[in-house]
Chains A and B, each alone.
Chain A
Amino acid sequence: MSESPKIGLREAVGLLTIFLVAKAFIPYLAFIFDWGLSGTWLIVLAHLPLGVVGVLVLVWLLNRHPGKTIVEIGEELVGPIPNIFLALMLLIFLIGLVALELRQFGEFLLTAFLPNTPLSVVLLAFMAAMLAVAYMGIDTLARVAWLFFLPFLFGVFVLLALTANLWESHGLYPLLGPGPWGLVKGVGSTLGVGSDIILLAIIAPFLASGVMRTVGLATVLISGLTVFSIILVTSMVYPFPVAHELVLPIFEVSRAINLGRFLVRLETIFLPLWMFAGLISMTAGLYGAAAVTARILKMPYYRPFLFPISVIVIAVSFLFPNIISAVQISFNLLITWSVVPVGLVVGTLLAAEIWRSRKNQQKGGPKSGDGPRSGAARGGLRTKPSGKGT
């Protein structure tokens, strides 16, 4: 029986949140302390409203074209040839994201748990697990994400709470870190931290109608607050500049837990959390890249592309000579510059959509995307007049 996958609201929130939060468990987020110093937590807090606005725009665009991914929307709005460039930008972003995360998770494992194992073995093991689950489908992955979502959030907040005896409030002062202008620059330079939400535009056709806005907002709020809590606690446990020097901030925080003779070295307990988060996040990225490729080539199946893309991902992840360069490049590409391709794609499509709507309005025809299905996506088909006397 071949059915198109269906993803429930909870599953979608779980998948997207883990996709966004997983970056907090690998080294490159530590570079954000460069911009915010002791006020880094304010940068993350400032990302929240920006993220909400961004996701509302994205959801508006997706709701205008129900049942379509962003690649298909692009084809409809800007035509097939320009859309190939937009879709390629997305594809390169997703491949880069997975490759860089893969390298960092691999390096993290080597540093913390498997010092004598070759990096290639770890990366191939990661990729084997990711391939197997990506092959099973996005609905399976989303359900696994939901299965793991609540224990994941619970684990992260318990970990942070267990360090309460180490919190030093002076780590948050000076409160504005580099000053107001420095913070604004920091916020602007790290806008790409939320670019991963573009996955919503790839899984959109599989979501039930009317839940996309809830999914987007819940994802941004939960992931924003989680990353905010992690940065805040890290700042209090390891005040700047120590926090800036940490290779693995959250790992070091978990190592710092010391609640008596037996409640020490709890990083072992949290290792599964990080690994699961990494696996889910990278599998989602791998699926996203394969799905975008399939849409570009107008193929109904994404599976044939999984293996070739995984080979590319592995190759890209080996491009960096060492962990330091991998982390630095990751920060620059994923946190600073990733907003450019994602913003360009969404911005272009948004402009095209608005232009088309106005053009249609001037002609007196229906607005773009106001087909019979668009109402359903905004909250169900309306079969009765909404007001009295209408």
Chain B
Amino acid sequence: MSLFSKLSRRVLFREPQEYQSLFESGSQEDQQQAPAGDRRQFKRKKAETERLADLINQDVPLPTDLQEIKQTLGKLFRSPENNDVVIRQFIIGMEPPLQALMVFYDGLADKSTQNMAILQPLMFFPSLRPDPGKKLVDSLMDRVAESLLPGNEVVTVRNYQELADNVMNGLTVVVVDGQDRALAVETRAWEHRGISTPQVEAVIRGPQEAFTEQIRANITLVRKYLRRTSLVSKFVKVGEMSQAQCAIMYLDDIANPQLVEEVLRRLQSLKADFIHESGILEQMVQDTDTPLSPQALSTERPDRVAANLIEGRVAILVDGNPWVLIVPTTFFSLMQAAEDAYIRWPGGTFARVVRYVGLAVAMLLPAFYVAAVTYHQDFIPTDLLLAMTGAREAVPFPTILEILMMELAFELIREAGIRIPGTVGTTLGIVGALILGQAAVAANIVSPILIVVVAVTALGSFAIPNYELSVSVRMLRFVYLLLAVFLGLFGIVAGLFVHAALLVQMRSFGVPFLAPLTPMTASSPDYLWRGPVWQQERRPDYLDPLRSRRQPRISRGWTRHKRKGGGGDGGGK
């Protein structure tokens, strides 16, 4: 260990050396400082852990001796220290009787299924006959799987890795003495939340169901919307220490194969310890670590996932997580809400315009206020300027300090409101904002117009439909504030120039973040504004889908073909 590392540890981090050494197998110096007994125990434990890890990592086949398997499984699942795992030995009541055991996690597997589908058939009704010309023992596992286990999904397991994976996924593994294979029977039945209404992406008009923590249920929800044989859901295990079950979904006849391949490549290459949440996964697969904007769209709505798959995108699902990632995404996707498509197009377009105004206000209004008050007073109409100056007269702080105090107070209220549970949080938010605002004005700490500015800014940030984008905008607001303090409106414009360039440079899975605006590519009228549904004729060109056309140019056949014998438009007779 270098002198600098030692110094930084002792001076900056002050880590206790003796405990730290336990985690550093490569560092001999630190280990020498630990007591000899501890060190021996540490080495023994480490060797044992490595041996057990090899069992999993090196695809070690199952032995035929049941007692050996039982002993190894006990060590692998840390039984009896680990009280969750159950290794139950029983006898298959055939002639001659056979020793067997089943292993499962208590709580993950369903007991009644185990009793009905495994224990009863094997213990009470094992009337097996060998295949003609063969000994029973040669094809015993096949015969057990075919004739005795009535589970709907029975999988053959040949090594410790498969065995452990299945047990950890809630299946029950049956091992029979003398056999080099085991059987994993579907018994998954852990507790989970039912499908409920969307909490964050709520809509007034449209489907009212959201994803849950069950990956299977989530896939089913999407499949319910997209009834196509080409809808593929491919499972990928992600993570090293605790592998998370992920799945990608795409339409095989629409999504660009290179895109699908790239998504799979990124997922399969991950070597992280623990990826149990789509937000963590997003950070691991995104193109750049820029704070400007998220590069994947996270949604809790199956209908939104279905709509994006239809366009040629790929969805990434993580087991145990109700948020699904959609890639690639663009800035315009992040500014859209599901409801835009469900109401008539003028309403959808209007809602989007309001959102873009909200985005601009949330990011720039405080900076504009500071710039106008500090540098460009002549821009403000005289009457308004007099009113503002009068209100600010008694305030002893400069404008920037005023606005920073209020913005910080607002961020505190927002953060506290989220952390405090339910009703209390809402009350705290309202009361905190009202009381703080009123009191600050009464105490001449801030001017009344500043309260208006901060409140409108907050409303603007709430209008941004994507939470992560909203967080980015809230952070950028402070950057623009600083630019406005030093250089007024010019500072803001210079900041916007660099900001625009950074956004232009961003990519999401290879797709330019500001497409189809720049670079300009063909697309239906559905990015800045929402065009009529019957005009949504093309899939976004920047996704390069296998089928570029969504619907024919005349998608409403009735406008061309009049009803036979009808009385014209809306003809009643």
Partners in one complex: yes
Is A279 part of the contact surface with B, judged by Cβ < 8 Å?
A: yes
Bound form: Cα–Cα A40–B128 in Å:
106
- CB pair A144–B504 under 8 Å, yes or no, is yes
Is A109 part of the contact surface with B, judged by Cβ < 8 Å?
A: yes
Interface residue from B379, B490, B495 paired with A122 (Cβ < 8 Å): B490
Q: A8-B519, A10-B520, A271-B489 are in contact. Are A140 and B375 (CB under 8 A)?
A: no
- CB pair A143–B487 under 8 Å, yes or no, is no
Chain B residues whose C-beta falls within 8 Å of the C-beta of A10 in the assembled complex:
520
Contacts between the two chains (Cβ within 8 Å), count:
88
How far in angstroms is the closest Cβ of chain B from A103?
Answer: 15
- CB pair A136–B505 under 8 Å, yes or no, is yes
Is A121 part of the contact surface with B, judged by Cβ < 8 Å?
A: yes
Q: Nearest residue in A to B518 (C-beta to C-beta)?
A: A143
Q: Which of B364-392 contact A (CB under 8 A)?
A: 375-376, 378-379, 381
How far in angstroms is the closest Cβ of chain B from A141?
Answer: 7
Is B494 part of the contact surface with A, judged by Cβ < 8 Å?
A: yes
Q: Which of B475-526 contact A (CB under 8 A)?
A: 486-491, 493-498, 500-502, 504-505, 512, 514, 517-520
Chain A residues whose C-beta falls within 8 Å of the C-beta of B514 in the assembled complex:
143, 147
- Scoring A114, A262, A265 by chain B CB atoms within 10 A of each residue's CB, the highest score goes to A114
- CB pair B504–A140 under 8 Å, yes or no, is yes
How far in angstroms is the closest Cβ of chain B from A326?
Answer: 19
Bound form: Cα–Cα A303–B512 in Å:
22
Determine the main DSSP class of A at the interface with B.
helix
- CB pair A11–B501 under 8 Å, yes or no, is no
Bound form: Cα–Cα A280–B500 in Å:
12
Number of interface residues of A (CB under 8 A): 33
Chain A residues whose C-beta falls within 8 Å of the C-beta of B497 in the assembled complex:
129, 133, 144, 275-276, 279-280
Determine the main DSSP class of B at the interface with A.
helix
Chain B residues whose C-beta falls within 8 Å of the C-beta of A117 in the assembled complex:
487-488
- CB pair B517–A109 under 8 Å, yes or no, is no
How far in angstroms is the closest Cβ of chain A from B35?
Answer: 53
Bound form: Cα–Cα A114–B491 in Å:
11
- CB pair B376–A140 under 8 Å, yes or no, is no
- CB pair B489–A268 under 8 Å, yes or no, is yes
- CB pair A275–B494 under 8 Å, yes or no, is yes
Q: A132-B498, A136-B501, A268-B376 are in contact. Are A146 and B518 (CB under 8 A)?
A: yes
- CB pair A114–B487 under 8 Å, yes or no, is yes
Bound form: Cα–Cα A227–B240 in Å:
63
Bound form: Cα–Cα A137–B502 in Å:
11
Q: A10-B520, A140-B505, A276-B493 are in contact. Are A114 and B379 (CB under 8 A)?
A: no
Chain A residues whose C-beta falls within 8 Å of the C-beta of B376 in the assembled complex:
113, 268
Bound form: Cα–Cα A147–B500 in Å:
9
Bound form: Cα–Cα A45–B512 in Å:
39
How far in angstroms is the closest Cβ of chain B from A126?
Answer: 7
Chain B residues whose C-beta falls within 8 Å of the C-beta of A143 in the assembled complex:
504, 512, 514, 518-519
13 contacts between A and B (CB under 8 A): A10-B520, A11-B520, A113-B375, A122-B490, A125-B486, A128-B494, A132-B498, A136-B502, A136-B505, A140-B505, A147-B514, A268-B376, A276-B493
Interface pairs A-B: 8 shortest CB-CB: A275-B493, A129-B494, A143-B518, A268-B379, A133-B501, A143-B504, A279-B497, A132-B498
